[in-house]
Amino acid sequence: MAGMEANAESYVCGVSDAPLVYQTIGETLDEAVRRHPDRPALIVRRQNVRLTYAELAAAVEDFAAGLLALGLKPGERIGIWSPNNAEWVIAQFATARLGLILVNINPAYRAAELEYVLNKVEARALILARHFKTSDYVAMARALDGELPHLEEKIVISDETVEGFRRFSDVAAAATPALRADLRDIAARLSPDDPINIQFTSGTTGFPKGATLTHHNIVNNGRFVAARQRFTEEDRLCIPVPLYHCFGMVMGVLGCVTHGAAMVFPDEAFEPQSVLDAVEAERCTALYGVPTMFIAELDHPSFKGRDLSSLRTGVMAGAPCPVEVMRRVIADMHMREVTICYGMTETSPVSFQSMPDDDLEKRVSTVGRIHPFVEVKIVDAEGKIAPRGAQGELLTRGYSVMRGYWGDPDKTREAVDEAGWMHTGDLAVLDGEGYCRITGRVKDMIIRGGENVYPREIEEFLYKHPAVQDVQVFGVPDAKYGEEICAWIRVRAGAAVVEDEIRAFCKDRIAHYKVPRYIRFVDDYPMTVTGKVQKFVMREAMTKELSAPATRAG
């Protein structure tokens, strides 16, 4: 593999015997059906759904034809706002088949965030769940009546009729032979280079940015992620990670479909017990998760006595994995070929992945080696390439780099330079063999339980509270979530406010995982001489306060 040879500079480029494939998502599904029509494709335990590849393709065709009957056209945007279910996967392929750009909306979003993203992409249609946990999606969508000028069609995933919404099953039932024929004509005109998916990642500007990905981006990335785990049609992957994120829909769904493997969804959202049940009952060979998910599974009271011997491989990604956890995943969960991935939404997502036979040390201290056909370099603060072993910002180039942020050429130019390098904002070190270590973040992003949280977005929201004069948000280390969110607030002169009022202000207006766990009222912030706020000083002070048992909060 290139990148392994001694090279004084921090640059690697991956190679592979298998070339990139140049096909649409629809063609990818067609190929799976041709090769493995009767093999299991989609298992959704909560819904009792079990579809072979041929059955999945038929469900996809019906829903695609139904969308066509609604007058939706290639290139138009259609949102999906739902936890994991069979309809999500069917919609992913049906929209791609019709050339509709699927816009993934985080199921934890509330009305204000939904309004922003739907209007940003000028979505003509929205597929939404009925409700989940404390989110009543239908009520939130109704509350936005009149605020979504482009939205014409609302499709609800529900057995019951809901006034003002079409039912998912009714849309699919409208399919006719003529519509199916039209669909085939449309499919023949689509290009793998067309944008097909927009994934919103929270932005430092305070608004989420829509990373726009093509068929070619995500078909190939999903394929290589699964290839490195040595997937075949015999594999059965347990997917507890969310479909709205590329971990679910690209690494999970497209990883399986490119190899004819089975997708097993244990539940609508992560629950350790349902994951363990699914692995055991479905004899899963692979399991995905962020480190906190694996910790919850290992710590579950029912873990002992489980038969997880069918497991072989999987992916742990999104945050660094503690060595003890990795040891137990290999020994107690039998995932001896588990791999680590590193990447970001803007790069489809994966750039680095460990090999199933990399030694334990490498698998916990690094994110493995470069992916096929991807280039990475590490640069110093001036943008000059760093020598091997030196820390700098990680830049990625290749087939996997997004088309851009939807409707935001300025932000796109800031992220992807003229030579095509995506500036990730992550700090990393490349060793002499090409293994990469992620060492921090240039930006201040907080990762709480695998969710990216950008302080600026929460700050801008909290500024709207009448008693808030100024606010600084940052992450503090947390045993359970990796990081927790802390806000230091300066209160307006003459105003009075308590912690619970701030939390109540956040509730139902921003996603629950963005609500600060720790809130402190302060007179001043630590500043540099040039007047820049020093978040790292606040972080240190809070970390000290929280680790002192007498003053431990909440």
Per CB under 6 A, the segment of 102-110, 158-166, 185-193, 313-321 that binds ligand AMP is: 313-321
Tell me: does residue 367 bind ligand AMP (CB under 6 A): yes
What lies within 8 Å, CB to CB, of 299 at 6+ separation is 272
Kindly state whether residue 344 participates in binding ligand AMP, applying the rule CB under 6 A: yes
**Can you tell me whether residue 60 is helix, strand or coil?**
helix
Of 305, 208, 309, 222, the C-alpha closest to 258 is: 222
Phi and psi torsions of 148, nearest 5°:
-120, 80
Q: What's the closest the beta carbon of residue 505 comes to ligand AMP, in angstroms?
A: 26
Contact (Cβ atoms closer than 8 angstroms) between residue 191 and residue 219:
no
- Residue 322 binds ligand AMP, judged by CB under 6 A: no
Min dist. Cβ of residue 169 to ligand AMP (A): 32
The Cα 192–Cα 549 span in angstroms is 56
Q: Is 204 exposed, middle or buried (0-12, 13-18, 19+ CB in 10 A)?
A: middle
Residues 151, 142: Cα–Cα separation, whole Å:
12
Q: How far is the CB of 395 from ligand AMP (least distance, A)?
A: 12
- Does 441 contact ligand AMP by CB under 6 A? yes
Could you write out the three-class secondary structure of 169-226?
A: HHHHHCCCHHHHHHHHHHHHHCCCCCEEEEEEECCCCCCCEEEEEEHHHHHHHHHHHH
The CB-of-478 to ligand AMP minimum distance in angstroms stands at 16
> Per CB under 6 A, which region of 10-18, 159-167, 338-346, 532-540 contacts ligand AMP?
338-346
Site for ligand AMP, residues 270 to 289, rule: CB under 6 A: none
| Site pattern 447..486 for ligand AMP (x: CB under 6 A) | -----x----------------------------------
Task: List the one residue from 83, 240, 272, 349 that touches ligand AMP (CB under 6 A).
Answer: 349
In this structure, what token pair is assigned to residue 266? 């244990």
- Which amino acid type is present at position 446? I
CB of 316 to ligand AMP, least distance (A): 8
Q: How many residues sit in the footprint of ligand AMP (CB under 6 A)?
A: 16
Contact flag: residue 353 with ligand AMP (CB under 6 A): no
Binds ligand AMP by CB under 6 A, chosen from 27, 267, 297, 426: 426
Contact between residue 3 and residue 371 where contact means Cβ atoms under 8 Å apart:
no
Give the SS3 label for residue 229: coil
Q: Does the protein bind ligand AMP through residue 318 (CB under 6 A)? A: yes
- Peptide bond just before 349 cis, omega within 30 deg: yes
Provide the minimum distance between the beta carbon of 424 and ligand AMP in the complex, in angstroms, as a whole number: 5
Interactions with ligand AMP, residue window 243-272 (CB under 6 A): none
Nearer Cβ to ligand AMP (275/344): 344
In sequence order, what E strands does 344-435 have?
A: 350-353, 369-370, 374-379, 392-398, 404-405, 422-430
Question: Nearer Cβ to ligand AMP, position 24 or 345?
Answer: 345
Positions in 161-220 near ligand AMP (CB under 6 A): 201
Q: Interface residues with ligand AMP (CB under 6 A)? A: 201, 317-320, 340, 342, 344-345, 349, 367, 424, 426, 438, 441, 452
